[in-house]
Structure 1
Amino acid sequence: MISQTTEHLFSFEEYLAYDDGTDNRYELVDGKLELMNPPTFRHLLIADFLQDNFKAEIRRVGLPWLCFREAGIRTGWRKSRLSDLYIVPVEQVRDFLDRSAVTEIPPLLAVEVVSPESINRDYRYKRSEYAALEIPEYWIVDPIDSKVTVLLWEEGLYEQTEFTGSQQIISRTFPELAITVEQVLAAGNIS
């Protein structure tokens, strides 16, 4: 469940500086702060698995990229979303090391892991906001429906491909990455 904290409309700059003295995390949606629920453990385990694989591939290929978890993406004038993972070039953060971890330049790849309360947010709202930014690749990892949807920016809109089961996930950002949907979803389990 998401709750709005106030009727005051925040500017993006006010959002970056906002501190309510708690560890609460907020997204900025049309100038309003929306309190984000803590993720599920399954959600965290899947995000950890993907982050480990992305970082390993970045190192293996020697790419000048960084992978961040739960950092922000400015998606509009009074909008900022917290992404589960994103990939950005090193130079995109070099001059902003001491600022809030919210990129104002679209990342190369964004990933959202679906939780029961985030279905509409991940499939609908973030998809349209990420499309407006022309983020080149957007993954929606859905452990509820046992699939990974990869959206690639093509000629002004997202072309989507759904992967399930033992299918290897095809990524334009990481063309040599060899992981399957089963591996991603299994990461959300503890044996």
Structure 2
Amino acid sequence: ALDTNHLIEYSHGNIEVLPMPSDKHQSILGHLYTDFLALAAKTRGKVLFSPLRLRLWPGKIREPDLPFLASARDPRRQNQFWSGADLVVEVVSPDDPERDLMTKRREYAQAGIPEYWIVDPRSGTISVLTLVGTSYQEESYGRGQQARSVNFPDLSVDVAAALDAD
């Protein structure tokens, strides 16, 4: 067993040590979680707070900050891990922004995740990425705007309220 107090992800046979989330990171997630819970109630879906393993393909596991399934009865939902999601959210880590902005974007698209939200406190934006074919189409929202899901019309998030959550 790996003896560490760090979060890790398994990628291509390698263990990646992740930065621990900050208070701000968790506050933003807490705010978003309540918005996603309301959506889950409407769709009879399921949203969870990290850590939860999401298997993108054999040998590739990620732990998105918020994974969402539109139906709690979706067969991809398993006890040990989910084998897909309808939407995932990542809050950009200041310690490794490339992981969320580039690497996970590419991997989630390759895995066929239909919608990926990137919350970037540094730029003050929430980007909603919708899978079109094999790549994402991006729409970014800033303070004073509502980030809106393309695939779930009942989901909108006040960008400033999410970024300023305390």
- In the superposition, the TM-score normalised over structure 2's length comes to 0.90
1:64 alignment partner, one of 25, 44, 53: 44
The partner residue of 1:129 within 88, 102, 107 is: 107
For the pair 1:37 / 2:19, whether they are aligned, the reply is yes
Question: Deviation string for 1:148-189 (max 9, x for gaps)?
Answer: 1110011232100111111111102431234221111111xx
RMSD (Å) for aligned C-alpha atoms:
1.8
Deviation at 1:45, TM superposition (A): 0.5
Q: Work out the percentage of aligned pairs sharing the same amino acid.
A: 31
**Unpaired segments of 5 or more residues in structure 1?**
1-18
Counterpart in the other structure of 2:34: 52
**CA distance in structure 2 between the aligned counterparts of 1:115 and 1:94, rounded to whole angstroms:** 27
Q: 64-73 or 175-184: which moved more?
A: 175-184
User: TM-score, normalising length from structure 1?
Assistant: 0.79
Detail structure 1 runs of 4+ shifted over 4 Å in the superposition: none
d(CA) in 2 for partners of 1:72, 1:32: 15
Does the 8 A contact of 1:28 with 1:80 survive in 2?
yes
One-letter amino acid of the structure 1 residue matched with residue 111 of structure 2: L
Match of 2:132? 154
The structure that is helix-richer by fraction is: 1
**In 1, Cα distance between the equivalents of 2:105 and 2:47?**
20
Return the index of the structure with the highest Cα Rg: 1
The one-letter code of the counterpart of 1:134 is: G
